[in-house]
Amino acid sequence: MFTFDFVIDSVQNAKKTFVSTFVADTKFKEELNKLVDAQTKFAKGQIQTTLSIAEAFVKNASESFYAKKGA
């Protein structure tokens, strides 16, 4: 999970750096940073959901395989 968080944080921090460098209006800058924060939360949630689904699939497939093998 660390690798995914690191990649997401790197991309999102690059966005924030771009905003702070090139957006002059303070109010607009705050709103863009809120958007980036929301994107970060969403992306991390999606990764967690996908990993949970994959983990459940592997667990169930393994249990099914070994149950059939032992029968």
| pLDDT tens figures, 12-47 | 999 999 999 999 999 999 999 999 999 999 999 999
**pLDDT surpassing 70 at residue 1:** no
C-alpha to C-alpha distance for 61 and 67, rounded to whole angstroms:
10
- pLDDT per residue as tens digits for the range 43-71: 999 999 999 999 999 999 988 888 877 65
Whole-number pLDDT of residue 22: 97
C-alpha to C-alpha distance for 71 and 66, rounded to whole angstroms:
9
Whole-number pLDDT of residue 68: 77
Helices (H) and strands (E) in the chain, counts: 2, 0
Whole-number pLDDT of residue 44: 96
Can you give the pTM of this predicted structure?
0.78
Assigned token pair, 63: 């249990």
Assigned token pair, 60: 């169930």
